């Protein structure tokens, strides 16, 4: 089945995007990402040394193999986020970026107003913006209208592992969107990823769920399979739910 994920005009086989933080070592990071089958990896511009000599992300996960998705994690204003992503473009020529503007240091929920403001500035400068936001259909529509190439509503709070808290909101966002919708933040285990895909999402982005698992490489493989299964289930079209039982065997031709 040929069912690629299209982002900013580029085709990807995997619908699982993974982060590169929180692992015990770069060797573990590499092993987990390889097991996940991901082709797009996120890197926090302000927190990690992406390139250079010695132990760097690029030495373990070559940019020739992976699409790097710089993000503005840790930014609390539109100006700060835009400045951070400009640095990413200068450092590696990256223009496909994940925009993240946090509104509260305790809850880590996005500031939708600042996110929209930053989106408009970045799009104007030629960036392809994938915007992390709340699971709010109104906010997602505004971001799409502002020029985002993808919207990324949260499933739950960053790093919480609580899974999808508002599945109906995700369904509404999927139904109204003409750009890819990727669930980002809050996934805790493989069933959460599968549910996101069954709701019609185009992909899932995660980090903590894999990096903080007891066996990260095994969890990465589980997430890969879950995303694939959820996508196939969505495309297959689930059976209608019924209030009463329905026999599986045919009623005709029964031997008396």
Question: Which amino acids are annotated catalytic?
Answer: 98
CA angle 8, 12, 14 (to 5 degrees): 130
E strands, the chain, in order: 5-7, 10-12, 16-19, 40-44, 67-71, 96-99, 128-133, 150-153, 182-184, 203-206
Residue labelled with tokens 């769920």? 209
The Cα–Cα gap between 52 and 58 comes to 8
Taking the CA of residue 253 as centre, how many other CA atoms within 13 Å lie in the half-sphere pointing to its CB?
2
CA angle 140, 146, 151 (to 5 degrees): 35
Provide the 8-state DSSP code for 60. Answer: H
């Amino acid at each position: 089945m040929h069912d690629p994920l299209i982002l900013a005009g580029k085709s990807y086989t995997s619908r699982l995007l993974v982060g590169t933080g929180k692992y015990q070592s770069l060797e573990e990071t590499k092993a987990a990402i390889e097991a996940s089958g991901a082709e797009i990896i996120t890197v926090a511009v302000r927190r990690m040394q992406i390139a250079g000599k010695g132990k760097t992300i690029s030495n373990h996960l070559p940019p020739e193999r992976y699409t790097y998705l710089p993000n503005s994690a840790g930014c609390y204003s539109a100006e700060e986020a835009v400045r951070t992503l400009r640095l990413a473009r200068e450092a590696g020529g990256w223009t496909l970026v994940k925009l993240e503007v946090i509104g509260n240091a305790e809850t880590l929920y996005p500031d939708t107003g600042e996110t929209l403001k930053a989106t408009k500035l970045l799009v104007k400068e030629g960036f392809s913006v994938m915007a992390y936001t709340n699971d709010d259909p109104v906010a997602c529509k505004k971001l799409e209208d502002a020029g985002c190439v993808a919207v990324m509503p949260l499933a739950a709070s960053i790093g919480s592992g609580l899974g999808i808290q508002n599945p109906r909101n995700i369904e509404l966002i999927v139904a109204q969107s003409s750009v890819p919708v990727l669930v980002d933040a809050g996934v805790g285990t493989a069933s959460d990823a599968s549910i996101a895909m069954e709701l019609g999402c185009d992909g899932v982005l995660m980090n903590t769920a894999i990096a903080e698992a007891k066996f990260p490489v095994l969890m990465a493989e589980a997430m890969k399979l879950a995303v694939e299964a959820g996508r196939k289930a969505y495309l297959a079209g689930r059976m209608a739910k019924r209030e009463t039982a329905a026999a599986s065997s045919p009623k005709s031709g029964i031997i008396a």
